[in-house]
Structure 1
């Protein structure tokens, strides 16, 4: 596939590890209340490659959550950071440690980062990200919009071209009726949106309870070219799972969109190993 990779702008953006935030109680679809952790911080026992349904909590974010404390600058960090971007610690005991952006979480507006030695890091440590990816285009497939992914990581995904169509490896296909919170957000380059996991039987039926953080998944009949989660018959979007399940009605594991088309040229192919952890060589 030909891209405009060489002309895609690279910029430095600065975030710092964010303090955890709890929103208690969390009430599920059956009226049960839960008092447990929420978003933010350094999550020591949950990270890239783990099952998204593993944790007993509210939208638990994997590995490291970060943001720019300046509320006027953080939207830029959310919009420009892309999955697979290099991230380096520039302040704290972990100074010099290198990792990768593995997602972003709208609403709380956290950039999610994998680092190899979480125990060396602390709340407030500063991380510089080489933001690269927004503006990436497939020159032979102008109807396919690409966003939120580092060009070098994109090239590592074993997408196959067959008769004018792109066959993309995914671990699962999320049907349109099992999507929820985040639909309707205006900027698909700065957010995620959730699977709707209220109906556990439906989730099990489509094997969505097996998805892991970092899995590449497809969403059927959804177009994300100009907003998040627009229903469009025949459209396909491809995303990366970025945070855990949640008990709140209409919520569930979050997905950041990396490809979308309303034409019939994106073909999801089930491949159980399709995860950015594999493609990043972690």
Structure 2
């Protein structure tokens, strides 16, 4: 059955940002196992880490694929509108420099640093500079399923939702294709955050037994993943029988309480959502971007 949405009532608003500087958090950092490292982290234009790549194995932590952007490097309070309006799957257009006019696709937002990641083809990345600006057609906040008011949707472009392949079952539950199903106890940094329309929260991958048991070693940038017993309707909390679906937006991290980042997309309680494993459950595979070109 086709899922009807209210897409005709959604507001499309232009928001504009620029490249976020590459950042070093400390000369050295200490991982959860006591390891000492000095690695690249957030920000900048990242040429070789793309949607579809594994989130593991990089000599870096909290790595953001593609172009990391912000509205303002000085005032965190004004970032909320830029983060809020830009949704996963939205179109971004370069509005300055040698690559002016080229288009890309929003992946998602990263809390704490308040970065928004955008995927661009290699031919565009090669012409970008750290002074360039991007205009995003912010479209998706307020999206809902007309016949399922108990399903909450955030940060999602309606075109991406339609192409994702959600299905309504005869019992009224909704099947959602995902690449990995995460147990609720494996979520870390970001739990308790009030807003799910900005920022993300992290999947903990430091316990190898849990990673192996749930196939979490398969996590890729852009993956749709389900988190069991997590309610993200009004913030991020534990609730038995709830399920939250998100998209993976940054890499793994050795830091305690941190790991691959996931931005909230859909949440519901009472076993309303049924995650169905699919190797193609990645926004890059649907949009034909990143490693899926």
- Does the alignment reach a TM-score above 0.5? yes
Structure 1: gaps spanning 5 or more residues: none
Of residues 175, 186, 198 in structure 2, which corresponds to 1:178? 186
Specify the alignment match of 2:83 in structure 1. 78
- Correspondent of 2:45 among 42, 45, 59: 42
- SS of the residue 2:83 aligns to: helix
* Structure 1 counterpart of 2:143: 136
Distance in 2, matches of 1:124 and 1:179, equals 35
RMSD across aligned positions (CA): 1.0
Q: Which residues of 2 match residues 77-226 of structure 1 at below 5 A?
A: 77-116=82-121, 117-163=124-170, 164-226=172-234
Q: Contact 1:223–1:261 at 8 Å: present in 2 too?
A: yes
Could you tell me how far apart the structure 1 residues matched to 2:193 and 2:84 are? 13
Structure 2 CA distance, aligned partners of 1:15 and 1:95? Answer: 14
Name stretches of at least 5 consecutive residues in structure 2 with no aligned partner. none
Task: Give 3-state SS (helix, strand or coil) of 1:203's partner.
Answer: helix
Separation in 2, partners of 1:99, 1:54 = 26
The alpha-carbon deviation at position 256 of structure 1 amounts to 0.6
Partner of residue 271 from structure 2, selected from 250, 264, 272: 264
Q: Does 1:15 align with 2:17?
A: yes
How many equivalent pairs are there? 281
Deviations 1:48-88 (A, max 9, x none): 11101131212000011000115242111111110000000
1:212-260 per-position Cα deviation (integer Å, ceiling 9, x unaligned): 00010000000001112x1000100100000000000111000011100
Q: TM-score, normalised by structure 2?
A: 0.94
Distance 1:5 1:276 in 2: 19
TM-score (norm 1): 0.98
TM superposition outliers: structure 1 runs of 4+ over 4 Å = none
Instruction: Please give the alpha-carbon distance, in whole angstroms, between the structure 2 residues aligned to 1:281 and 1:36.
Output: 30
Deviation at 1:113, TM superposition (A): 0.2
**Alpha-carbon separation, structure 2, partners of 1:125 and 1:62:** 17
